[in-house]
Amino acid sequence: MNAIHYTSHIRNDDTSDWRLTLDDILCRRALVAHFQPIWRARDLTCYGWEALIRGPQDSPLARPDALFSAARAAQRIAELDYACREAAIAAYAHQIANGAPQKLFLNVEPLAFIQGAQKGWTRHLLTAHGMAPSQVVIEITEASPHLDYDTLRQAVIHYRRQGFEIAIDDLGEGYASLRVWSEIRPDYVKLDRHFVHQAVTDGAVRRFLEAVVMLSQTTGSRIVAEGVEKVAEWHLVQQLGFDFVQGFLFAPPQQTLIHSLPEEKRRQWLQTRNAPVHTNAHTRNVASLALAIPPATLETNNETIYARFTADPDLSAIPVVDTDERPLGLIFRHPFLEDFARPYRHELFGRKSCQHYLSKAFAIRSDATIHELSQQLQTLALTELGRPFLVVGESGKYLGLGDGQALLRTLVELQLEAARYANPLTGLPGNLPINDRIQSLLTQQLPFVVAYVDIAHFKAYNDLYGFERGDELIRLVAELLKRHVTHPEDFIGHIGGDDFIVLFRDPAWQERITALFSAYTAALPSFYSSDDWQRGGIEAEDRRGNVVFHPLSALTVGALPVLPQQFDSYRAVAAAAAEVKKLAKKLSADQTKRGIVPANALFTERRQPPAPSAPL
């Protein structure tokens, strides 16, 4: 948007100067339109662009805050607003093909919005440039405390009848934006960037956003998340079910329309979409820690680096890349500023290449897990921990700057999260993380195998030998699973009791289970008396008091291969896996009848269920 967030920057003693400057800008129509893409959250394809207006580059009113402050002070805000629309539509029409499906989002202040409805300003501008109202979304910016809502509603009806769509900008900022939503029922609601930033770490803000999404579904509005700058914010947008996303993470505003994202970045961001809320270090990846920091090159001089650091006190390092966008290293804030503060540094080094201050830096692929990153960081010196690092794509090209401090916080948070949802006996993830992981694999359309692991005849063993020995047997299975399930993308969970789940991405999963069976059989004699081991089982009373023979405990594994789009939810997968588990137990019982003890058994479901029906 053009004017929200801004306060007056015009000093009283500059009045004549800025009035002349504003008058010159409006007379010459010397406004410059920039466009920032708005992306569909489901697939990161371009839905449209928001037009953002700047003054002439060499003018004291170049910044939109100064420009609109001057117009308000001169009581020419409606005139400036019309000139902004004129500049945006002209620049947009020059670049877009006739009949293009994308939308142009135009910022309009409420007063100008109402006056424009009365005079047909926007319709006239579109006709002059061969555009239709259906191509335009009018964003109503900051509401006034004295806004006449009846008049506003009538203006909205007028614009809609002509074919325009309506958006309200910066929900939660300015005056009574929730009332504006209820009064005009906009087609789009653009969420103030503050909420997206805060909700990543603030549960209360997150719950507010969840309520906003529910309200949008009730009113038929679609939500646009503005100001997304970090991958973690992008993940949040996906988790909450927002419709559109906009921000510097994807593209900054620029004069040329950006129609698509680099395919590598788009693919990487979509791989982690709908990431589960309850993740662990083995499933969350490095991309969630990446900041979209524009890199420098060896042609960048030190004065430019100095200007970037002084303009952004939170910028800890600046990446430097070669002509192929491959990272060469980092320029760290504090060493650079300390050295540049010395006498004559600006004069001696200001115009020279930034290579003089370039330092080597740790680099890691964006699809690596947090667990893999933490393991690699163990090889670094303690002084290196917490420092920024480089995040690269599959081809080795620069993608973002890793936040070292955020990594340390994330590791602590993940440890606390894992402890909260872990099974207290084995320390393995419990039901909630298991469900999240299954849903994540389904969402990413990745093939995997669900292995439902059960200890056959466990209840009889536990009744006879006692719960302490029973707990030891359960812990044995957990340790054997950790030892033999080693693929970095595999997941081990503990449902409860003697039931475990393994989500295999390892192509050699059957070999892992065979090794698991062998290790279990080798460890089993220590859990039985010599008499029971020689007998091949134990005798115990059933519920009716009858003495019944129970074979030695065994591992039964029901394996369910899952293909992309085969199941529509983790609940469907869990139900199918439970049925396969029953067949594995039946196979084990059949082996026992043939005298095989311990009757470890693997049953693999080969039948394919029908694909989920398409949503109505």
List the domain boundaries for the chain.
26-272, 286-412, 425-604
The whole-number pLDDT of residue 437 equals: 87
Q: Which CATH class is domain 286-412?
A: alpha beta
286-313 pLDDT, tens per residue?
776 777 788 999 999 999 999 999 988 8
If you write DSSP's letter for every residue of 507-546 in order, what string do you get? TTHHHHHHHHHHHHHHHGGGGS-HHHHHHTEEEEE-TTS-
- Give the SS3 label for residue 189: strand
- DSSP tag of 301: B
In the structure encoding, which two tokens stand for residue 604, read together?
């693999």
If you write DSSP's letter for every residue of 412-437 in order, what string do you get? HHHHHHHHHHB-TTT--B-HHHHHHH
> Comparing 168-182, 321-335, 395-409, 481-495, which segment has the lowest mean pLDDT?
168-182
The whole-number pLDDT of residue 285 equals: 67
Residue 502: pLDDT band with limits 50, 70, 90:
very high
- The CATH H-level superfamily of 425-604 is Reverse transcriptase/Diguanylate cyclase domain (3.30.70.270)
406-430 pLDDT, tens per residue?
776 666 666 656 666 778 899 898 8
In the structure encoding, which two tokens stand for residue 210, read together?
């969840």
Residue 123: pLDDT band with limits 50, 70, 90:
confident
> Comparing 241-255, 271-285, 382-396, which segment has the lowest mean pLDDT?
271-285
Q: Please name the helix (run of DSSP H) or strand (run of DSSP E) that holds residue 291, with its range, or none.
A: strand 290-291
Residue 316 vs residues 344, 355, 551, 611: alpha-carbon distances, Å:
24, 17, 64, 49
The whole-number pLDDT of residue 611 equals: 47
> Comparing 298-302, 324-328, 394-398, which segment has the lowest mean pLDDT?
394-398
In the structure encoding, which two tokens stand for residue 597, read together?
């003890």
In the structure encoding, which two tokens stand for residue 270, read together?
């979509």
pLDDT exceeds cutoff 90 at 218:
no
Highest mean pLDDT among 121-130, 177-186, 274-283, 592-601 belongs to 592-601
pTM of the complete model beyond 0.85: no
pLDDT exceeds cutoff 90 at 480:
yes
Residue 615: pLDDT band with limits 50, 70, 90:
very low
Other beta carbons within 10 Å of 33: 21
The residue type at 293: I
Residue 613: pLDDT band with limits 50, 70, 90:
very low
Residue 384: pLDDT band with limits 50, 70, 90:
low
Q: Fold for 26-272, please state it.
A: TIM Barrel (3.20.20)
66-116 pLDDT, tens per residue?
888 888 888 888 888 888 889 999 999 989 876 677 899 998 887 777 766
